[in-house]
């Protein structure tokens, strides 16, 4: 597997031409030092708390590319009236 394009985060916040070209080519770039690790950890904790708090009570839906039957077809059929 090829490694992902990695750059130092630009100090002015603007992506360089090389960064943009790498993103266009691969679809993702890594910017080292873009965000403080402590701020990133705090954001991750907050996000996980939101997901836990707001997790739906209904079952998750799973789609398959191997069959036309979805694991929660019944849920979809019965929940149509809940859409506003």
- 68 domain residue, yes or no: yes
Q: Would the pLDDT of 7 be above 70?
A: yes
**pTM for the whole thing?**
0.51
- 1 domain residue, yes or no: no
Q: What would you report as the CA-atom Rg of the chain, rounded to the nearest whole angstrom?
A: 20
Structure token digits, residue 56: 């739906």
pLDDT at site 37: 92
Q: What is the pLDDT of residues 23-74, one digit of tens each?
A: 999 999 999 999 999 999 999 999 999 988 887 776 666 666 666 655 556 6
| Whole-number Å distance between alpha carbons of 82 and 6 | 45
Give, as one character, the DSSP assignment of residue 61: P
State the greatest distance between any 2 C-alpha atoms of the chain, in Å, as a whole number: 52
- 64 domain residue, yes or no: yes
| Whole-number Å distance between alpha carbons of 80 and 73 | 11
pLDDT at site 52: 86
> Which residue range forms the structural domain that includes residue 55?
6-82
Q: Would the pLDDT of 6 be above 70?
A: yes
Domains of the chain: total:
1
- 38 domain residue, yes or no: yes
């Amino acid at each position: 597997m090829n490694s992902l394009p990695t750059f130092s985060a630009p100090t002015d916040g603007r992506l360089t031409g090389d960064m943009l070209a790498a993103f266009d080519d691969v679809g993702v770039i890594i910017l080292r030092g873009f965000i403080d690790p402590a701020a990133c950890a705090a954001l991750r904790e907050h996000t996980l708390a939101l997901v836990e708090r707001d997790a739906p009570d209904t079952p998750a839906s799973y789609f398959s590319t191997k069959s036309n039957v979805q694991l929660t077809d019944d849920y979809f059929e019965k929940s149509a009236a809940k859409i506003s």
